[in-house]
Amino acid sequence: MLRRRLSQACRTLSEGRTYVSAAMSVYLLRQQAVAPTPAEILAAQLTPAERNILKLISLGETSKGIGQKLSLSYRAIENHRTNMCRKLDIVGTNALLRFALEHKAIL
């Protein structure tokens, strides 16, 4: 078994191609899949309700519209927006909208 793998590695390298063992392939795939982006780390700090509201913001909903959809007051939505800005280290509702639009896929 070891001879076969060594022989395969030598053939692959002699053809000018790159050889990566099966074990190394698994390791590399796990490393790539595990590393979260900075935005994912920040978004993970949000509660499920905040993520839902941020998703609605990314769809262009206003605080009033979000409140009506979720049966919450306008003030409750504004409080959520304030908390999200604090957690995401963002200043202003325009920056929150920009974050929501840029990171729609992770919400």
Each residue of 1-41: pLDDT tens digit?
677 778 877 887 788 877 777 777 777 777 776 667 788 88
List the Cα angle 49/50/56 in 5-degree steps.
95
39-106: CATH topology:
Arc Repressor Mutant, subunit A (1.10.10)
Q: Where are the domains of the chain?
A: 2-35, 39-106
Percent of the chain with pLDDT over 90: 48
Position with higher pLDDT, 95 vs 10: 95
The answer to whether residues 79 and 47 touch, using CB atoms and an 8 Å cutoff, is: no
- Measured in whole angstroms, how far is the alpha carbon of residue 9 from the centre of its chain? 36
Whole-number pLDDT of residue 55: 95
Give the tokens for residue 37. Answer: 């982006």
Whole-number pLDDT of residue 49: 94
pTM value?
0.66
Each residue of 45-75: pLDDT tens digit?
899 999 999 999 999 999 999 999 999 999 9
Residues in Cβ contact with 42 at an 8 Å cutoff, skipping those fewer than 6 apart: 87, 88, 89
